[in-house]
Each structure stands twice: as structure tokens, then as C-alpha cells.
Copies of this chain bind each other. A is one copy, B any other.
Amino acid sequence: MIKARVTVIDIAKAAGVSKSTVSLVLQGSSLVNEGTRSKVNAVMRELGYVYNRGAANLRQAGAKSRIIGVVVNDLTNSFFAELAVGVDMVVQSAGFVQFLSNTGESIDRQREVVASMREHGISGLIVSPARATDAADFKPLVAAGIPVVVVVRNLPGAKVSSIVSDNRAGMMAAVEHLVGLGHKRIAFLGGFPDTAVFDDRLAGYRNGIEAAGLGYDEDLVISSAPSRAGGVEAIGKAIALGRRPTAAVCFNDAVAFGVCDGLRARRLEPGADFAVVGFDDVIEAQAAVPALTTVSVDPQGIGRRGAQMLLKQINAGKAEAETVTTAVRLVVRESCGAGKAAPARAGRA
């Protein structure tokens, strides 16, 4: 068991040059002679040299650790897994690596992992914050000059960049579609009212309802946990209403699936007897029976976009916070009752 690490000095000695030259080669400097370069490279390969980024970072004063921190609130939700994959794609091809952690909606955990990432000298952070995250939590990071991009859930008041989907427009489109199908009583089901995302989606719903000349009726807004179970609960309450709705837009796809479950438990067929529209377009949406009509937000795209934005800020050294909202589009499938769509499509590449 030879534990001795091979260092740049070993290489230098073996190649008959100075450590400085080896360092130059490492950084692909054009200053070094072609012959020398290839010799050094050969020796490196031969001795099995592995670059010590820690040491390098030390010298480079925290500038470029080439580590990007990624924090998501629920990795078991495929929406966020996709997001992480999107980030990974661009981060990776830019020669960075991804430090990914899952907070499971715990803000304590979030604090921990962010602190830990900071200790490791991340050069930027992408975060989908846990519920009830304090906007001030990322203050120290940006004060230290570490770019932060908030995705999916925005943090009103925090002076960081953010990318959120156009929740309002998406929900409005969903309502319009249902109105176009002849529905007059459309409920808004699921979600916790204490989040910015909820507010946006609800606002879109309200806009859509009012634009259609239907009266906005508070009774038709039924919040619940943003989960499958929450959906079951919400549809239960909706059906118990005096003037029962004939359609619902849901806070997200998980809720929508729950709503479908709840409908079937009451011998109502989603799509045929009651129209259901989700939000997010998670992978399962197109495969479900009935296939879910939903608002597609392309989490992978958000991830890619967020990563690009972050990299831009890292390279720029200093960047002011920008906020983008990404377009969404309604994907009409079966659960809204708009007729059996063409046979389901294609896998993922």
C-alpha cells in the first residue's frame, strides 16, 4: 500500500523540469514549449498523477473552485430530479462539478448544507428553497461574492437572481381551456397558501375566471397539502360543495393525481365525468391513465437555464440580480375531457 501522493514536484523531478513548468502545463499555458509539454504530460500519465484541486483553490484565493452547489427541496419528486439533471448538464460541460443536496423541505437541513457547501468553497449556488425559507438566509453568501440563483420558488426580498415559471399565465391558460370546453364552475384545488408560487397560480386562476366573465367564488378555492393525498382531500371537499364544480385546475400534478384518485373512489371517471388539469407536467403525467392535461414547465430547461445564468455571473465576477420567468404551455391530454388525444408519445432520449 504505497500511499504517497504523486505531486507536481514528483512530476517535475521525473521530467527534468521545474514545478513551475509543470504547473504551466497543467493550466494549458501557451508559454510552454510543445516538446516540454508532451514530455510532462507523458510523465504525468506514467506516474498516475491526480490534480489536487484543494491545493489549487487555496492559492487561487477562492476564486474558482469549479464547484457548483445545488440544493433542492425534494429530490424524490421527479420534477426536482429533472431540474438537477438539467443543471448537471450545463455545469458539467462547463467543466464544473455539482454538489447536490436534498433538504426534504427542512430549513435546518438547508442551512446546514449551504454552510457545508460554503466551507467547501463553492463558486456558485443554485437553490430551490425549502418552504418558508427566510430571504435573508442567503445574504451572507452574496455578501461574500458568491452568486446565488434561486429557481422554481422565488424569494421575495432576497437580492438574488431567480428563475420561476410563468405560473400566472399557465394557470390562466388552463382555466381558459376549461372554459372553452364549456365549464362554468371550475375549482382551484390544492397547495399551501403561504407560498409565492401558490399566490401566483391562484392569481392566474382568478384572472382566467374573471376574464371569462365567470364570477370569482372563494368557495371554489380549496387548499391542501401539495401532494397526492392532499388532492384526494381537496376533491372530497369540492364534491361536498352545494353547487358542485364540474372541473378543476390543480396546484400541481401530484394534487391532480390525487384528485383523480378521489374521483374514482366516488365512481367518477376523470376526464369523462369531471375535468382535471394539473401543473408541472412531471414525467408520469403523460403515462398516467387518463393522461394528465397539465401545464408543462420543463424543469430540465429551468435547470439548464439557471446553470447558465449562474455561470455567467461567476464569469462576470460580479453580476446584479436578474429575474426571469420562463414561458409555460398547456399540454392537452385526456384528463380534461378534451377527447382522446393521439396515442401517447415517445420516451425520453
Contacts and interface: CB of A to CB of B under 8 A. Distances in A.
Interface of A: 1, 3, 5, 48, 50-55, 57-58, 61-62, 65, 67, 75-76, 78, 81-82, 84-85, 88, 92, 97-102, 104, 109, 112-113, 115-121, 140, 144-145, 227-229, 257, 261, 265, 283-284, 287-289, 318, 343-344, 346-348
A53 to B, nearest CB: 5
> How many identical subunits does the complex contain?
2
A92 B112 contact: yes
Which residue among A57, A109, A145 has the maximum number of chain B CB atoms within 10 Å of its CB? A57
20 contacts: A3-B145, A50-B118, A53-B120, A54-B57, A55-B58, A75-B85, A76-B78, A76-B82, A76-B348, A78-B78, A97-B99, A97-B120, A98-B99, A98-B100, A99-B99, A100-B100, A229-B346, A261-B287, A265-B343, A288-B289
Contacts of A78: 76, 78, 81
Contacts of A257: 287
A51 B119 CA distance: 5
Contact of A75 (B51, B81, B145): B81
Contacts of A58: 52, 54-55, 58
Contacts of A3: 145
A113 B85 contact: no
B81 A76 contact: yes
A227 B347 contact: yes
Contacts of A261: 287, 344
